[in-house]
């Protein structure tokens, strides 16, 4: 890990959606060897036997709703600042975990995602088949979830994956474009995963044409320029549509009893089909089996692509009307409650001297951004030093006044003067301070957020029904980091998270 980087910021959880592929076992073994802190396997089968998983690997059932929904289920139970999505048909390379942690720790705060490099092993003793070349295209694909690390804060900000994409196709490109639209940057990491080709039947290329329906949804959501932005090839849909129209015209003429009229379209269809087959066959091994496969599938592929495109156009209209499956970013709160010690200022235990007050790095700018955004502010702070006789209320008030002198107005101050054993309702992790602050500000607790540095701040927020963001420090326990619903590396990043901007 680079010097000066907090260990909490290098934490990552791994999410592996699966349909029960046999390759899963080898992947999990490699991930455990790589030192992954937490691995969540999301079982996306509709039914079947329970997966046999190694010790230390968590299982989550997704009910067969598709890879986008499975990934959403996985990252929402994750707790680390980074969530690494890994497909169940890849193998992580040597040094993967170390390179991943080092790469994430070295990223700028405005970078939301880091993609691993994909290597597809191809046969060395012959030319690759059409299917093998198709899989090899993953080596140059951008922002694919074969190995994609994403900040959990960024996922929360854009609402995660769009569940209107039903298959493992374009849901990753859609996420990347929405992250870029929100102002986030994307980066390419140095870690590597191996993606074996896998066994596929002769008609796999025809089945893959179902992705044309998802391309229609991408155009509806992101405009006609989405391919350039996502680094996706344009494909041959127009040529396929022309070929399909020629074939349909010839068939219609024959059905109408006019075979001479069908001759021209039929010849043109045959020429277009032959051109497609030759284009696909030329780089390949040209074995009898491959020649037969290319000839048969090239005759059907254009019609399949066109049909899926038309189906996608009808489906896109319906999906855009029904936004129940669309990603929903976390709403911006109306008010923010801030912990004092360790969050706004450097924690000096039982400090009663205003001269020892030191704001944390970037605190003044972060608080100014909250005020400029029109959010109401308050401070909620446990001060058990009063109950212990170490501090007087006047000393606490003097320190609070110094904080405001350095950071500007922070709204009402709500302080719990009790000790841990006093049984009060105001001491965090109980919700009393948060509820009282919400009442003072005239805001429903559900429309509030709490920023703090320890688990008690998070628990108080959640008990009150408020949103909670944890900014870990040296005193934050690892179990508190794991349990936090939202994490930020700095106070400024926490403000980014609440304002919905990177």
**Of residues 88, 341, 457, 492, which has the active-site annotation?**
341
Tell me which H or E stretch contains 491: helix 491-499
In SS3 terms, 314-334 reads as HHHHHHHHCCCCCCCCCCCCC
Contact 149, 189 (CB under 8 A): yes
Q: How far is CA 139 from the centre of its chain?
A: 21
Q: 322 an active-site residue?
A: no
| Three-state DSSP string of 253-312 | HHHCCCHHHHHHHHHHHHHHHHHHHHHHHCCCCCCHHHHHHHHHHHHHHHHHHHHHHHHH
Helix (H, G, I), strand (E, B) or coil at 426: coil
Residue 468 bridge partners (DSSP): 450
Ordered alpha helix ranges (H), 169-258? 171-181, 204-207, 211-222, 226-230, 237-255
Which among 88, 147, 339, 453 is annotated as catalytic? Answer: 339
Residue 79, H or E segment? none
Angle ∠(382,384,387) on CA atoms, nearest 5: 140
φ, ψ dihedrals at 168, nearest 5°: -80, 70
CA dihedral sign of residues 407, 413, 418, 420: negative
Distance, CA of 379 to CA of 371 (rounded, Å): 14
Peptide bond between residue 429 and the one before it cis (omega within 30 degrees of 0): yes
- Catalytically active residues are 339, 341
């Amino acid at each position: 890990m680079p010097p000066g980087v907090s260990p909490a910021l290098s934490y990552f959880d791994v999410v592996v959606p699966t349909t029960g592929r046999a390759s899963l076992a080898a992947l999990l073994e490699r991930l455990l060897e790589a030192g992954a802190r937490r691995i969540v396997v999301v079982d996306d089968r509709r039914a079947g036997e329970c997966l046999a998983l190694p010790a230390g690997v968590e299982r989550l059932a997704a009910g067969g709703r598709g890879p986008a929904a499975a990934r959403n289920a996985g990252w929402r139970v994750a707790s680390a600042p980074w969530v690494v999505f890994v497909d169940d048909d890849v193998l992580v390379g040597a040094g993967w975990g170390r390179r991943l942690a080092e790469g994430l720790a070295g990223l700028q705060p405005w970078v939301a995602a880091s993609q691993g490099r994909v290597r597809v092993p191809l046969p060395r003793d012959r030319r690759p088949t059409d299917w093998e070349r198709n899989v090899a295209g993953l080596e140059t694909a951008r922002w694919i979830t074969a190995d994609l690390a994403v900040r959990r804060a960024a996922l929360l900000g854009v609402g995660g994956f769009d569940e209107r994409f039903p298959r493992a196709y374009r849901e990753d490109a859609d996420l990347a474009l929405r992250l870029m639209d929100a102002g986030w940057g994307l980066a390419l990491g140095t870690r590597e995963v191996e993606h074996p080709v896998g066994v596929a039947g002769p008609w796999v290329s025809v089945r893959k044409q179902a992705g044309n329906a998802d391309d229609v949804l991408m155009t509806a959501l992101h405009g006609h320029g989405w391919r350039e932005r996502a680094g996706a090839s344009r494909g041959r849909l127009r040529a396929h549509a022309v070929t399909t129209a020629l074939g349909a015209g010839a068939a219609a003429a024959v059905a109408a009893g006019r075979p001479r009229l069908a001759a021209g379209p039929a010849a043109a269809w045959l020429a277009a089909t032959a051109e497609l087959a030759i284009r696909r066959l030329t780089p390949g091994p040209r074995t009898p089996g491959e020649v037969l496969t290319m000839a048969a599938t090239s005759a059907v592929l254009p019609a399949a692509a066109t049909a899926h495109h038309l189906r996608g156009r009808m489906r896109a209209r319906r999906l855009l009307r029904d936004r129940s499956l669309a990603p929903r970013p976390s709403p911006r709160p109306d008010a923010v409650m801030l912990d004092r010690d360790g969050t706004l200022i450097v924690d000096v235990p039982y400090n009663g001297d205003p001269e020892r007050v030191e704001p944390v790095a970037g605190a003044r700018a972060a608080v100014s951004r909250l005020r400029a955004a029109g959010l109401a502010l308050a401070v909620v702070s446990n001060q058990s030093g009063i109950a212990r006789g170490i501090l007087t209320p006047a000393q606490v008030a003097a320190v609070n006044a110094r904080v405001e002198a350095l950071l500007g107005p922070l709204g009402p101050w709500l302080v719990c003067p009790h000790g841990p054993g006093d049984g009060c309702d105001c001491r965090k992790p109980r919700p009393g301070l948060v509820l009282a602050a919400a009442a003072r500000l005239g805001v429903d607790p559900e429309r509030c957020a709490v920023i703090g540095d320890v688990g008690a701040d998070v628990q108080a927020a959640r008990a009150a029904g408020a949103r909670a963001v944890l900014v870990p420090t040296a005193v934050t326990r690892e179990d508190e980091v794991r349990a936090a619903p939202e994490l930020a590396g700095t106070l400024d990043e926490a403000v980014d998270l609440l304002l919905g901007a990177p």
